[in-house]
Chain A
Amino acid sequence: MTTTESRTLTYAEAVREALSQAMEADERVFLLGEDVGTYGGAFGVTGDLVHRFGEERVRDTPISELGIVGAAVGAALAGMRPIVEIQFSDFTAQAMDQIVNQAAKIHFMLGGAATVPMVLRAPGGSGTGAAAQHSQSLEAWFAHVPGLKVVMPATAADAKGLLLAAIDDPNPVIVLEHKLLYKQSGVVPQSPARVRLGETAVRRDGTDLTIVATGVMVSRALEAAEQLAATGIEAAVLDPRTLRPLDSKTIVDSVTATGRALLVQEAPKTGGFMAEVSAAIVESPAFGHLTAPVTRLCGLDVPIPYAPQLEKAAVPQTEDIVKAATGLVNQW
């Protein structure tokens, strides 16, 4: 194990460090998006990068999501490594043709003759009172499209390591950050170490049940696991990190050992990504080891409401995870 300098950074700073190290290392890498320059990004992620790399490589754009993503697709096809910031993941809806019908399919349609090595970063999730058009968790849309890779970093270290791996990748990668995580701090290596795409992280070991969680739900699941441990329930907590390609083997192995799976996502239940995880478990050799139904704990099937008390009620909180896990273990 080589030692590497680490220090504490916020998730947003970790993203910025990945961007700047990639730009230093490879002149093909450039950023474009709304307010990424002088303003420093709507969530302050790009910060001072415009002063370090100039307006050509940290490119402010008009409000034109479809045009921005299309420009990235074209630049990637022509040999660059563009990184797009879409200000809120909800606004990807305006760029969907370029993401789904162009970026995802060009490599395949051309029989492998061209690649589209681009990254699209966007903050998702609720919790800030930004209401229905600025708070969605849309990962399942993207994970459903062959040709796209989808990443959801849950820690500062992964925000850096997964983004660097996404930049290296010859395919279009959607990196869905969470706006509640931007200010959370964690230990982040100084070196531009990559976190390989497609590896589920075991955040905590446990014997009684397996909790699989994504995005901001990972830290809530870990808090819940602490509380569960005090009552004698040992929960394993797994963080897929990459939704596509999904490392289901790590999940299946864990569920085989514990016999129970609780799948937690912020996005609404119907058609959500955890349905995919559930099916992956049930279709695997873990099936014969199940001592309980595979159970999903998800956001309600509602648009995210504005009022704080409604917003809280719309998505799983730590105590909901504790309750669901306790029921799963005690009833089954």
Chain B
Amino acid sequence: MDLTGNASLARETLRTMWTIRRFEEAVDDLFARGLMHGTMHLSIGQEAVPAGACLALADGDYITSTHRGHGHCIAKGARLDAMMAELLAKETGYCRGRGGSMHIADVATGNLGANGIVAGGVPIASGAGLAVKLRGGQQVVLSFFGDGAVNEGAWHEGVNLAAIWDLPVVFVCENNHYGMSMSAKRAAKVDRLGDRAAAYGIPGVTVDGNDPQEVFDAVSAAVARARAGDGPSLVEAMTYRWKGHSKSDKNLYRTREEIESWRERDPIVRFERAAITAGALSEEDAAECRDEARDRVRAAIRTANAAPDASAASLTDAVYAGSQS
């Protein structure tokens, strides 16, 4: 499917990317003003990966996410007000204030949760794939992780299990070039992390992660294989985070020039131009997507801010499921 050629697909892709961008800009602003607790990992500059990948999924499909997970959440269809409420430590947040940015999950839309442990979600994705297979279901599980995760034992073990049992899993590596400060080039000997697939006997590709079309095509092919029972695949999407790893990053491990060169390759601006050039969208349509994203984020902040703060009175509830407390 041609995302830049088809008006409704182009609009959906653009709207998703702008929503992620605006949501994270607002979060950045709130944190900077001291209105947000904890820490934040922003994916500004990487929006094309979740937007393109989640477009290739159907309702009922699962994802596992990471500490840099706002984009995955939004692209999978999470409610912005419940996300924002969580970040603002409200009782109406996705995790009732218990989880914060790093642990947002939305089981209703198949998001099994952001994870603060790098590669923690990879074996979990394989396990969800195993459940689908045992139940004879048709769902696919898409596991997002960063370049930093591929050297964790959990990553290798999770990918290998999915491979030997032909589980319906798509492993999507968002290679944003750095695991905190460690360059992906220094952390692995292979030039392309997509090539690692060969070691597990599964297909692997490396695509331009700043182009939602390339991401969408590669993930669509992998999803089709998974649904057909042909097992997992690995998709490496090359992208870049504009912001620091978290909140106290002095950017000592990279140059301003490098950051600048990637900002020039803004995935959203690029897609917008391509869709306008292809005639799928007018300038007005693009502006409308932007305004809509802004208005949705504003409404989410208003709703979340008016909600009651998470209460300590029931703090010990929900440590265990059922009546036990």
In-complex A–B contact (CB below 8 Å): yes
Q: Which residues on A are within 8 Å of B, measured CB to CB?
A: 34-35, 37-40, 42, 44, 60-67, 90-91, 93-94, 128-134, 300-303, 305-314
Contacting residues, chain A, for B151 (C-beta < 8 A): 62-64, 67
Is B110 located at the chain interface by the 8 A CB criterion? no
Main secondary structure of the interface of A (DSSP, over half): loop
Given known A306-B89, A310-B97, contact A62–B182 (CB-CB < 8 A): yes
When the two chains form the complex, which single residue of A63, A134, A301 contacts B316, counting CB atoms closer than 8 Å? A301
Q: Is the CB of B252 within 8 A of A40?
A: yes
Which B246-268 residues have a C-beta within 8 angstroms of A?
248-250, 252-253
Contacting residues, chain A, for B179 (C-beta < 8 A): 34, 62-63
Q: Is the CB of A306 within 8 A of B181?
A: no
Q: Is the CB of A307 within 8 A of B252?
A: no
Q: Which residues on B are within 8 Å of A, measured CB to CB?
A: 37-39, 86, 89-90, 95, 97-103, 115-120, 148-149, 151-154, 179-182, 186-188, 248-250, 252-253, 309-312, 315-316, 319
Q: From residue A250, how far is it (CB to closest CB) to chain B in Å?
A: 34
Contacting residues, chain B, for A39 (C-beta < 8 A): 180-181, 249-250, 252-253
**A309 (CB) vs chain B CBs: closest residue:** B312
Q: Is the CB of A131 within 8 A of B116?
A: yes
Contacting residues, chain A, for B310 (C-beta < 8 A): 305, 307, 309-310
Contacting residues, chain A, for B311 (C-beta < 8 A): 309
Q: From residue A247, how far is it (CB to closest CB) to chain B in Å?
A: 34
Q: Is the CB of A131 within 8 A of B180?
A: no
Q: Is the CB of A132 within 8 A of B98?
A: yes
With A and B bound together, what is the CA distance between A40 and B245 in angstroms?
Answer: 14
When the two chains form the complex, which single residue of B90, B116, B119 contacts A133, counting CB atoms closer than 8 Å? B116
Given known A61-B182, A62-B179, contact A131–B315 (CB-CB < 8 A): no
Q: Is the CB of B38 within 8 A of A300?
A: no
Q: Is the CB of A38 within 8 A of B39?
A: no
Contacting residues, chain B, for A67 (C-beta < 8 A): 151, 153
**B38 (CB) vs chain A CBs: closest residue:** A129
Top 7 A-B pairs ranked by shortest CB distance?
A129-B38, A306-B100, A307-B89, A307-B97, A133-B116, A39-B181, A313-B312
Q: From residue A120, how far is it (CB to closest CB) to chain B in Å?
A: 17
